[in-house]
Amino acid sequence: MWNRVEEVLGDVRRPSRYVGGEVNSIDPGQVDADVRFALAYPDLYEVGTSHLGLSILYAVINAHPHASAERVYMPDLDMEQQMRERALPLFTLESRTPLGDFDFLGITLQYELTYTNIINMLDLAGIPAWADDRGADDPLVIGGGPNALNVEPVAPFFDLVVLGDGEEVVLDLLELYRDPRTGGDRKTFLERSSDIEGVYVPSGYTLDPEDPQAPPRPLEGFPERVRRRIVPHLDDVPVPTRPVLPFAEAVHDRAVVEVFRGCTRGCRFCMPGMIYRPVRERSPERVHGCVHEILANTGYEEISLVSLSSSDYSAIESVTTALAESLGRQHTSMSLPSLRVDRFSVDLANRVRAVRNTGITLAPEAGTQRLRDVINKGVTDEDFGDAVRAAFSAGCDQLKLYFMLGLPTEREEDILGIAEMVERARRIYVEVGVGRRPLKLNLSVACFIPKPHTPFQWEPQLSIEAFRDRISTLRHALPRRGVRLSYHDPDSSRLEGIFARGDRRLAPMIVEAHRRGARLDGWTEHFDPGVWEEAEKACSVDAAGYLGSRDLASPLPWDHLDSGVSREFLLEERARALAEVRTPDCRMGSCSACGVCDPTLGNEVVNPDV
């Protein structure tokens, strides 16, 4: 394999994506493992190497005395062509072993538009796409990541799927695999793995032909519902303090430490906010220790404290103050992604990293207070004004704003409200920033996609035409100069919407689209709506049915995949949304009975006084 790979590298763009041997990657020659994992990110190297989840699993598995993990990413189209021409199977970066030779192939499900990449990677590896077609010599293909909570459109491609936190489940699977009682038998292993909390075995469930929109029914021996695995204490979770340093430029090229998992702000459109509950914070001591360890092991000059909403970390003030002092001496900067729209967050960002010349990004999501109450985005007009004023006062002259169109109950005044917020930001800039260069304002607009496991899972998605109309309304309301409007491609949002609330009947369409050439659909330059239209027709897919509103009383295709948040809570939240009533964050107020916490598990906040 080594020589065959070397021969190809001279004929492809960015060969560094395929050479392996990066600093902190394992040396396969030094590893004596009896269980071997290949961990796959179904997108290009520069996207995949930035992913924290796979980096954690890489560390966890490689710390096990009897196991090893190697990495593989989706090859770019030129590499794919070379591999197909030379019959070179897809291989891991560490030992250049073909994927078919591993015991497990773990694939992360981050985003709907990577689904054809999964088929492509399996195909390039010579592994049958359909789990039912695999035999004793094929690896067990495992899915995980946020979209595991509605894996149904791709479920037939996986032998098993991990719901929730994977760090402990992967070790349980390893032990089961090494258990002589499974006797190396695939079927026995799969049956027994369904006893592990958080493991879903799609072949143990079958669609009801009379009611294909209902969740698949369990065969004998498989549970009715599969509960998401939740690690109760983040301090018990290993931190990858020796992350692999990518050769090619990565989308996020910096050290990262996860400061907490989960978010209970309760934005009603947000799937991560529902499926990662409850909040579990890492202790400040552990955060400090990990930051310094990672910097020593990598030489990075920037550390990012990540989570779903980093300024919500209850020890953020003390941690950033102490880190700013120690990192300042090492000329290392700190960043906080996912800023909340309020003055506190912006002041904090100003403190940890000067926003001058870098700008700030805020996501008010909706243009009026009414609609922000509907979606439970706790941002007031005052918060917005305070945040942009604080940023401009600190010298910022670039502002990026994120909004969505097509949210439930949206009216024309909500669209015009976006333009008014833009106007207001410009006025504040003039007040604060007289004499400086003009404000650079980027407005990014997405089409609202109803996601499973959220209070809006029953709502319809805008048609492509309606989305274009609303974009046009917004464009006309915006100032003619000084604002750059960009919006998500409506065709790819439509496809994402179909898969987000899809079921198993979509799997053949993914295979068909791949056969017709669909690849790297998340990349605008590669996405071809024509190919998907043909695949939809060939497979008689009722797209309108997937994108329309769902009956509140009927079962949903993902009802058997239990995030821990109850259907009653989601229905109640939907009713409150329509009544324009907000629900407070349970970290600060009383429990809103979402169903996740129990006597052994609850919000774990390191500084309860905040």
Of 302 and 585, CB closest to ligand SF4: 585
How far CA 265 is from CA of 15, 272, 276, 609, in Å, comes to 43, 11, 12, 17
Q: Smallest distance, Å, CB 564 to ligand SF4?
A: 8
Q: Determine if 597 is a binding residue for ligand SF4 (CB under 6 A).
A: yes
User: What residue type is 430 in one-letter code?
Assistant: V
125 binds ligand SF4, rule: CB under 6 A: no
In the list 586, 604, 605, 606, the residue contacting ligand SF4 (rule: CB under 6 A) is 586
| Shortest separation between residue 454's beta carbon and ligand SF4, angstroms | 14
Q: What is the DSSP letter of 598?
A: B
Take residue 588 and report the two structure tokens written for it: 């600060």
Task: Give the shortest CB-282-to-ligand SF4 separation in angstroms.
Answer: 18
224-248 CB burial, b ≥16 within 10 A, e <16: eebebbbbeebeebebbbbbbbbbb
Least distance (Å) from ligand SF4 to the CB of residue 590? 8
Task: Rule CB under 6 A: say whether 461 interacts with ligand SF4.
Answer: no
Cα(356)–Cα(349) distance, integer angstroms = 11
Q: Which is nearer to ligand SF4, 375 or 445 (CB)?
A: 375
Taking CB under 6 A as the criterion, the residue among 603, 604, 605, 606 binding ligand SF4 is: 603
Give the distance, in angstroms, between the CA of residue 83 and the centroid of all CA atoms in the same chain. Answer: 29
Taking the complex as a whole, the smallest distance from the CB of residue 109 to ligand SF4 amounts, in Å, to 24
- Backbone φ and ψ for 385, nearest 5 degrees, come out as -60, -45
From 125-133, 173-181, 520-528, 587-595, span contacting ligand SF4 (CB under 6 A): 587-595
Whether a cis peptide bond, with omega within 30° of 0, leads into 278 is yes
CA distance 383 to 401: 14
Residue with tokens 């590298």: 9
Please identify, using beta-carbon distances, which residue of 75 and 266 lies nearer to ligand SF4: 266
DSSP letters for 377-443? ----HHHHHHHHHHHHHTT--EEEEEEEES-TT--HHHHHHHHHHHHHHHHHHHHH-TTSPPPEEEE
DSSP 99: G
Kindly state whether residue 578 participates in binding ligand SF4, applying the rule CB under 6 A. no
Cβ 163 vs Cβ 229: under 8 Å: yes
Residue 418 CB, shortest distance to ligand SF4, in Å, is 30
C-beta of residue 89 within 8 angstroms of C-beta of residue 127: no
- Of 205-213, 328-336, 440-448, 590-598, which segment contacts ligand SF4 by CB under 6 A? 590-598
With CB under 6 A as the contact rule, the residue among 105, 129, 594, 606 that binds ligand SF4 is 594
For ligand SF4, the closer of residues 162 and 279 by Cβ is 279
What is the 3-class SS of 152-191, one letter each residue? HHHHHHCCEEECECHHHHHHHHHHHHHCHHHCCCHHHHHH
Which among 120-128, 286-294, 462-470, 591-599 is the span making contact with ligand SF4, rule CB under 6 A?
Answer: 591-599
Asked if 591 touches ligand SF4 (CB under 6 A), the answer is yes
Give me the least distance between CB of 236 and ligand SF4, in Å please: 19
Q: Which of residues 156-185 bind ligand SF4 (CB under 6 A)?
A: none
309 binds ligand SF4 (CB under 6 A): no
Q: 16 or 592, CB closer to ligand SF4?
A: 592
Q: Which is nearer to ligand SF4, 45 or 569 (CB)?
A: 569
Q: Which residues pair with 404 in a beta bridge?
A: 446
Minimum distance from residue 260 beta carbon to ligand SF4 (Å)? 13
Residues composing the chain:
610
User: What residues contact 325, with CB distance under 8 A and at least 6 apart?
Assistant: none
Give the residue with the Cβ less far from ligand SF4, 171 or 601: 601
Q: What's the token pair of residue 2?
A: 């080594």
Nearer Cβ to ligand SF4 (264/493) = 264
Give min distance, CB of 263 to ligand SF4, in A. Answer: 10
Q: How far is the CB of 279 from ligand SF4 (least distance, A)?
A: 7
Considering the rule CB under 6 A, would residue 376 count as an interface residue with ligand SF4?
no
Buried b or exposed e, range 36-49, using 16+ CB within 10 angstroms: bbbbbbbbbbbbbb
596 binds ligand SF4 (CB under 6 A): yes
Cα 12 from chain centroid (whole Å): 29
- Specify the residue, 296 or 591, whose C-beta has the smaller distance to ligand SF4: 591
- Tell whether residue 560 is a contact of ligand SF4 (CB under 6 A): no
Q: Which is nearer to ligand SF4, 548 or 584 (CB)?
A: 584
Distance CA 61, CA 66 (A): 9
CB neighbours of 69 closer than 8 A, spacing ≥ 6? 26, 36, 37, 38, 39, 57, 58, 61, 62
Size of residue set near ligand SF4 by CB under 6 A: 12
Which of the residues 262 through 301 are near ligand SF4 (CB under 6 A)? 264, 277-278
- The site map against ligand SF4 for 222-261 (x = CB under 6 A) is ----------------------------------------
If the CB atoms of residues 361 and 592 are measured against ligand SF4, the closer one turns out to be 592
Asked whether position 605 contacts ligand SF4 by CB under 6 A, the answer is no
* Chain contacts with ligand SF4 (rule: CB under 6 A): 264, 277-278, 586, 591-594, 596-597, 602-603
